[in-house]
Amino acid sequence: MLKSVILIGGPQKGTRFRPLSFEVPKPLFPVAGVPMLQHHVEECAKVPNMKEILLIGFYQPNEELTRFMCSAQQEFKISIRYLQEYAALGTGGGIYHFRDQILSGGPEAFFIMNADVCSEFPLPEMLNFQKEHGEPSSFVILGTTANRKQSMNYGCIVENQQTNEVLHYVEKPSTFVSDIINCGIYLFTPEIFQHIGAVFQKNQQDMLISMCGSGAIRLEQDIFTALAGQGKLYVYKTPAIWSQIKSAGSAIYASRLYLNQYHKTHPERLATNKEGGPRISGNVYIHPTANIDPTAVLGPNVSIGTGVTIGAGVRVRESIILHGATLQDHSCVLNCIVGWDSTIGKWARVEGTPSDPNPNDPYEWVTNCLIMSGNFGAF
């Protein structure tokens, strides 16, 4: 028996994603036409013997989250529950607080994943890798490679190249450590709670002594750093797609990755050129409720949400158009997120800076145009 735990954070987190996260919880923001979280749930549900998916975060229960869980349970035929933290407990503290819920039913292993990552989610491959490496109680980090400059923005992993054991782990080092980075997706056995529990006890003692401090436990800094080199922690390196989703620019980049992935996983989600329909160039998702003039040109990397209206001669490229937006005749939208119920006026041109090659690098001068509300016309 297996379980999956998705860490969805809370409203105080994800400040770089604002103001998009003011309208909808960040994990429910649509990427490639479906909520960010749905990509995770869908891949978890495909894993044989997966019995339950737990969402852990400190969002107040809300209508959007409840609606998503009900819909996903029906579509993917799997139990999904939300466990609300009383405070931000950290990536390790949240799962330790709800360890009884995670361990109920006696799972032999469970996945932990951050909600704000875009990935192919090679979960079966991680399971096979765990069986082939180390002890049955070993833990696995999903890793990928990055260039020297990028790597310093992530958790860096030094591995034994023969065994793939993690020998050294440093979270966001100030100097180059390794080109293997942490993807925020893990495979644990119940034994992980012994290691988290030891950190919890130490934190409690430190708080009593100093009368201050935080009870938050971070998997990356507090657990992985200590486990490295002990023969317990291994890295499975994937050559497949991966990206963080921390900002508007990275959401467009992730949408591009998922749209391209749809050729293999969901070809029915990709729009095609049809008589009487708009001209499609490259990978484009169009919600069935959208109203699009046949003279419009869409793509590549475009996602059109529910109830969107697109007028005659409109050009859209490398953009996400959210629910209820209107793009009036002959407008041009490039490298943008057009927000809910916004209007782009006739002949207006709205253009952001392309997010290539690395929207996740905070040292790159990358901005995307973000239209959140109101009417925008030509000058």
Residues 251-261, mean pLDDT to the nearest whole number: 95
Q: Does residue 371 fall inside a structural domain?
A: no
- Side chain identity at residue 42, one-letter code: E
Assess whether pLDDT exceeds 60 at residue 354: yes
Higher pLDDT, 112 or 372: 112
Q: Looking at the domain assignment, is residue 365 inside a domain?
A: no
Kind of pairing, strands 336-338 and 369-371? parallel
Query: What integer pLDDT is reported at residue 205 of this predicted model?
Result: 74
Residues 159, 239: one domain? Answer: yes
Among 134, 101, 95, smallest CA distance to 222 is for: 95
Q: How confident is the model at residue 23 (pLDDT cuts 50, 70, 90)?
A: confident
Residue 82: inside a domain: yes
CATH number at residue 148: 3.90.550.10
Mean pLDDT, residues 267-277 taken together: 95
Number of domains in the chain: 2
Among residues 244, 263, 283, the one where a domain terminates is 244
Q: Give the containing element (helix H, strand E) for 268.
A: none
Q: Does the residue 372 lie in any domain?
A: no
Spacing of C-alpha 96 from chain mean position:
22
Burial class, 56, CB count within 10 angstroms (exposed 0-12 / middle 13-18 / buried 19+): buried
Confidence of residue 370 (pLDDT cuts 50, 70, 90): low
Q: How confident is the model at residue 357 (pLDDT cuts 50, 70, 90)?
A: very low
Report yes or no: 183 and 235 within 8 Å, Cβ to Cβ: no
In a domain, 26, yes or no: yes
One domain for residues 8 and 76: yes
What is the model's pLDDT at position 367? Answer: 44
What would the pLDDT profile of 220-231 be if each residue is shown by its tens digit? 999 999 999 999
Rounded to an integer, the average pLDDT of 328-345 is: 94
Residues 161 and 278 in one domain: no
CATH number at residue 317: 2.160.10.10
What percent of the chain shows pLDDT beyond 90?
A: 74
Residue-averaged pLDDT of the chain: 89
Query: Two tokens at 110?
Result: 């469970």
Q: Which of 240, 250, 243 is closest to 364 using CA atoms?
A: 250
Phi, psi for 320 (deg, rounded to 5): -120, 120
Looking at the fold, whether 147 and 294 belong to one and the same domain comes out as no
Checking if the pLDDT of 204 tops 90, the result is: no
The average pLDDT across 73-84 equals 96
Shared domain for 177 and 75, answered yes or no, is yes
Does position 363 have pLDDT exceeding 50, yes or no?
no
Query: HSE on the CB side for 9, CA within 13 Å?
Result: 18
357 prior amide bond cis, ω within 30: yes
CA dist., res. 240 & res. 257, Å (int): 10
Q: Output the pLDDT for position 119.
A: 96
How far lies 222's CA from each of 25, 170, 219, in Å?
28, 10, 6
Cβ burial of 316 (10 Å; 0-12, 13-18, 19+) is buried
Single out the residue in 199, 225, 244 at which a domain terminates: 244
- First CA to last CA across the chain, in angstroms? 61
* Residue that finishes a domain, picked among 192, 225, 244: 244
pLDDT above 60 for 76: yes
Angle CA 67–69–72, to nearest 5: 105
pLDDT over 70 (residue 212): no
Q: Is residue 239 part of a domain?
A: yes
User: Mean pLDDT throughout 149-154?
Assistant: 89
- Is residue 241 within 8 Å of residue 119, measured between CB atoms? yes
Q: How far apart are CA 61 and CA 80, in angstroms?
A: 14
239 with 277, same domain: the answer is no
pLDDT at 15 over 90: no
Residue 363 lies in a domain: no
228: Cβ contacts below 8 Å, ≥ 6 apart: 158, 166, 167, 168, 169
CA angle in degrees (0–180, nearest 5) for 17-126-216: 45
- CA distances for 75 relative to 70, 116, 258, angstroms: 9, 22, 19
- Residue range(s) defining the domain that contains residue 34: 2-244
In this predicted structure, which of 36-45, 130-139, 155-164, 323-332 has the lowest mean pLDDT? 130-139
Same domain, 174 and 318: no
| Residue 135 confidence (pLDDT) | 75
Q: Read out DSSP for 21-89? A: HHHS-GGGSEETTEEHHHHHHHHHHHSTTEEEEEEEE-PPP-HHHHHHHHHHHHHHTSEEEEEE-SS--
pLDDT at 320 over 50: yes
> Is 356 a domain residue?
no
CB 285 within 8 Å of CB 301 = no
Looking at per-residue pLDDT, the higher value among 219 and 210 belongs to 219
Q: Does the structure show a pLDDT above 90 at 358?
A: no
Q: DSSP letter for 270, please.
A: S
Residue 326 and residue 194 in one domain: no
Q: Are 361 and 149 in contact (CB under 8 A)?
A: yes
One domain for residues 179 and 77: yes
